[in-house]
Amino acid sequence: MVSVEERNEESEVLNTDPVAAEEAGERADVFLAARLDVSRANVQKLLEEGNVTRADGKVMKANHRVKASEVFTVIIPPPIDLEAEPENIPLDIIYEDEDVIVVNKPRGMVVHPAAGNYTGTLVNALLYHCKNLSGINGVIRPGIVHRLDKDTSGIMIAAKNDKAHISLSEQIQSKEAKRSYLAIVRGNIKQDKGRIETLIARDPKERKKMAVVASGGRQAITEYEVLEHYGKFTVVRLQAADRAYAPNQGAYGVSWSPFGWRS
């Protein structure tokens, strides 16, 4: 638990309850992520900026091992008002007309501005290239109909007007528009085709991530097809089925990395 010591327009100061005996030995970033119910990445940013101190005033580091009865003070900086601005970032344009633009998003590019990624996003690039984008998703995500994770490259369609946005959204919702993914898998998959069914929900420790769970999650189904074998690696085509999450979001009972999954 945490208590709010002070709140103003500039920042919020939180004090944690003392570290319990069973929590002793945890890394500070892991402990605080659970206490504050935020992602570990966000906590690490707070630690890097010196916004977490112990009762004696010592600034904490992410790898500090917490001790029983320790209390921490956390300063939450004020939120930043986001509004995407045009940026001259090159785009790999596959197709474009008066209604839509289709681009190949590179690995490492975030789709739209968010905490920790305020510039250099696909939206910033689109705003520079296009005179108009649909406004359905507001000023932070103009034209964005679907998404890809930062570390996933692939084709994305953006809408230049609200009519096109609605049409694309309906096609995705009705499964008329289908998305598939190519992945390199560690290991030699024996079956040429298969179907993986599991449950997926928010990761209990890293709330911005999804995780496979034993119960209580949403159904996630991914179909795969083997394309090539390369020694200890396999190239597969993946497609989310029914209400499944996209493969790069962990929609199967294996651990995912940008280079494939591990059994």
The catalytic residues are: 149
Three-state secondary-structure class, residue 242 = coil
Q: What does the buried/exposed string (b/e) look like for 152-176 if buried means 16 or more CB atoms within 10 Å of the residue's CB?
A: bbbebbbbbbeebbebbbeeeeeee
Contact yes or no for 18/70 (Cβ under 8 A):
yes
Closest by Cα among 50, 117, 112, 56 to 77: 50
Dihedral sign computed on CA atoms, order 44, 105, 253, 251: positive
d(CA 105, CA 93): 9
Q: What DSSP designation does 169 have?
A: H
Question: Using a CB cutoff of 8 Å and minimum separation of 24, what contacts does 161-167 make?
Answer: 161/99, 161/132, 161/134, 162/134, 162/135, 162/136, 163/99, 164/99, 164/100, 164/134, 165/134, 165/136, 165/137, 166/136
Helix (H) or strand (E) holding 228: strand 218-230
Length reported for the chain: 263
- For residue 13, the tally of other CB atoms under 10 A from its CB is 15
